[in-house]
Chain A
Amino acid sequence: MLVAGCDVGSLTGKAVILKDGEIFSYSIVPTTPKPERTACNAMDEALRQQNLSLDNLEFVVGTGYGRIKIPFANTEVSELTCHGKGAHYFIPTVRTIIDVGGQDCKAIKVDKTGKILDFAMNDKCAAGTGRFLEVMARTLELNLEELGPISLKSTNQAKITAQCSVFAETEVVSLIADGVEVADIVAGLHDAIASRIMTLVYRVGIEEDLTITGGVAKNIGVVDYIEKRMGIKAKKLPIDPQIIGALGAALIAMEKLES
């Protein structure tokens, strides 16, 4: 049985193909102004890896910000439900999922089958999202991938007090001018993100096991600060955390086909 899930997000498009319940291939592509095109790019890449075509797929579920625009999807499901299922696939004991994406962050509570029970979202402002880090990386003249390792070198974490990312950028510029160590500034930014995320987690309640999905999960600095604030260690996903949404969509595709 071949099914797929396609997650069209604000910064990237992802696709996951499952063969008989196992991951057959997956892709992550940059977003384009047209969600339809992003979806096709992601799907084509995943199909290409296994020499498949769309006709081979028996059911496709779309998710993400652009989910209603995916032309080849049989149905669409919210990304929160999909993240729940996707995380559960690798970590059946997961109960709390934090997803930090490009433009929003979410806290999701699931039951022992990965079914979503409750959720909290922030999609009104950039604070606590990948976008925030992108802007700050630029200001600090670093690559996104460097942020994590650098922050772990911090010895005297700076305090970023601005609530808004626009003002936080100004704050970072003055910290640089004051000669504060870059590692300390980055650590401060990571702490600020963790703080925003904690507000959401609190709404759904902290319950182990915890895992973190989305692109920002690859930043060990942010993960470290989230773990510190929650007082528990997050279980690491054995695969790229950015594809969890698409994986969940594919799992739901399988469920819908079987029913």
Chain B
Amino acid sequence: MDIELFNKYKKLGRGNWGKDLAMWKAMYTGFLNQMKDEEFTAISELLLNIFLDLPKARKQGIPIIMHSFNYGPEIFHAMNLEPLMQELYSVGLAGFHLNEPYIDFTNKIGFGDNPTLCNAQRPLIGSYMQGIAPLPDYLFYLSTPCNSLAMTYQVFQHLAKIPAFNIDVPYWAYNKANEFYDENTVEYMINQIKDLISWLEKETKHKLTAENLQLTMRNLNQSREYILEFNELLKTIPCPMPSLAGFGNFLAMVTRGGTDDALKATKWLRDTASENVKNGIAGVPDEEIRIAWPYTHVFFDRDLLTWIEETFKAVVIMDILGFYQVFPHDTSTIAKSYQSLALGTLDFSMVGTCRGPIEYYIEFLLNYVKDYKMDCVIMPMQFACKHAYAMARVASEAVREETGIPTLIFGCDPYDSREVTSEAIRSRISEFITQVVL
């Protein structure tokens, strides 16, 4: 990173952000320092701005709405509200192991343990009770894909007495060809989204204008076009991007979907992938193995993927979050915009695959494996993630039956380095790749 740029960002991070933003500020500093010796990309810029925007919003009196990691914040942006993606906080801390004291504290106060409740949300409760969790003005969450998320947000809502809104994502598909098709699915979503907007307008006094809605949706769907192309480009052999590159797309869409920032970031990723394909550059030089990773990655171990790349010349082509699969929609009318909002919610990362029957996940997995010509599948399943872990075995059997390729399933806690250590994870992966795959 350019030293002048570094200093500029360092300066921006100075000053008092507020007591409840103490950890938020610490994360900003942590990420910035990490970027010092790395290339400064559009994703780096996006990430730093996400952190800077929060104290800025506070100063300007803009209402802050905390939301879950599986919902795009386009409506909030269109209404000039400041979204705060909760898991960026709880999970972002994992990379620095800073969430572990709050996991322990949450255990101490008797709010669950691993594997009952997921550590992607529990540090919020622990750090809130110690007065250092970022405090939003409003709370929003989906009931999907898991109970843990819905329950922890409710606990936060009642503990901190924050007004909250919940959308119920239905079980059914909106595609006529799908066996689980229900023709009312999209309408149900649209009705709830309209209720959400009414609630937001009443609570925040901000209005959603037709103009803002259409502009936001246009940006949003343009971003989706870039991502669609990016996803296509990654099918190239060798893969033009290094492991988990798609995560940047997910990050952009879940924090800044509908804005120019997201446009910039998704375009940059698409352009980079495109350039690399043109110039025959591989994300992992001399790529030998292509790995499907249909779950989240191990957040506390920042070097795991690099180790996999270097040790086995293997590339992990996107994870379940990074493999953003909302297709661009036509938003030329207001009605179509609402439809796009509904479909975007239904198909968002981890919602589309996990909200319904196992068939959604298996279809995703089989296409993922086949389209990207994967050599094997690795599933590092979170112990507390019951809905996903209970799919793993049947899904891996389906993959074996249909494609013959092997799957590694192992349990771990992607947020807590003490549960299953880095060494144990690496030894499992090593064993799998050397004995089974090769």
Q: List the A residue with the shortest CB-CB distance to B108.
A: A202
Digitize A198-212: 1 where CB-to-B-CB distance is under 8 Å, 0 elsewhere. 110011000000000
What distance in Å separates the Cβ of A247 from its nearest Cβ neighbour in chain B?
31
* A residues 156-207 in Cβ contact with B at 8 Å: 161, 163, 198-199, 202-203
How many angstroms from the CA of A202 to the CA of B106 in the assembled complex?
A: 11
| Contact (Cβ within 8 A) A199 B107 | yes
Taking a contact as CB atoms under 8 Å apart, the answer to whether A199 and B108 are in contact is yes
12 A-B Cβ contacts within 8 A?
A161-B418, A161-B421, A163-B418, A163-B419, A198-B108, A199-B107, A199-B108, A202-B108, A202-B109, A202-B110, A203-B108, A203-B110
**Cα distance A83–B419 in the bound complex, in angstroms:** 34
A163 to B107: give the CA distance in the assembly, Å: 13
Give the CA-CA distance A163 to B419 in the complex, in Å: 8
Question: What is the CB-to-nearest-CB distance from A65 to chain B, in angstroms, rounded to a whole number?
Answer: 25
**Bitwise interface map of B from 326 to 369 toward A, beta carbon under 8 Å scored 1, else 0:** 00000000000000000000000000000000000000000000
Which of chain B's residues has its CB closest to A199's CB? B108
List A contacts of B418 (CB < 8 A): 161, 163
Nearest CB in chain A: distance from B252 CB, A: 36
- Give complex CA distance A76, B109 in Å: 32
Interface size in chain B (residues, C-beta < 8 A): 7
Residues in A whose Cβ lies below 8 Å from that of B421:
161
- Known contacts A163-B419, A203-B110; 10 additional CB pairs below 8 A are A161-B418, A161-B421, A163-B418, A198-B108, A199-B107, A199-B108, A202-B108, A202-B109, A202-B110, A203-B108
CA distance A82 to B109 in the complex (A): 26
Interface string of B86-101 (1 = CB under 8 A from A): 0000000000000000
**Which residues of chain B have C-beta atoms less than 8 A from A161's C-beta?**
418, 421
Which secondary structure dominates where chain A touches chain B?
helix
Most A CB contacts (10 A, CB to CB) among B107, B108, B109, B110 go to B108
CB closest residue in chain B, given A202: B108
Q: Which residues of B contact A199 (CB under 8 A)?
A: 107-108
* B211 CB, nearest partner CB in chain A, Å: 53
CB-based nearest A residue for B105: A202
Per-residue interface assignment for chain B, residues 396 to 422, with 1 indicating a CB less than 8 Å from any chain A CB and 0 otherwise: 000000000000000000000011010
CB distance from B140 to the nearest CB of A (A): 32
Nearest-Cβ distance from residue B215 to partner chain A, whole angstroms = 51
Q: How far is the CB of B65 from chain A (nearest CB, A)?
A: 33
Q: Which residue of B lies closest to A201 (CB)?
A: B108
In the bound complex, CA of A198 to CA of B110 (Å): 12
Measured between alpha carbons, how far is A161 from B419 in the docked complex, in Å? 9
User: A24 vs B421: C-alpha distance in the bound complex, in angstroms?
Assistant: 54
A203 and B107 CA atoms in complex are apart in Å by: 10
| CB of B117 to closest CB in A, whole Å | 16
Per the bound structure, the CA–CA distance linking A163 and B109 in Å amounts to: 18
- The smallest beta-carbon distance between B29 and chain A, in angstroms, is 26
Question: How many Å from the CB of A239 to the closest CB on chain B?
Answer: 32
Q: 9 shortest A-B CB distances, which residue pairs?
A: A202-B108, A161-B418, A199-B108, A203-B110, A199-B107, A202-B109, A198-B108, A161-B421, A163-B418
Interface string of B105-140 (1 = CB under 8 A from A): 001111000000000000000000000000000000
CB distance from A178 to the nearest CB of B (A): 14
**B contact residues around A163 at 8 Å (CB):** 418-419
**Bound Cα distance A199, B110 (Å):** 8
Which B residues touch A203, using CB under 8 A?
108, 110
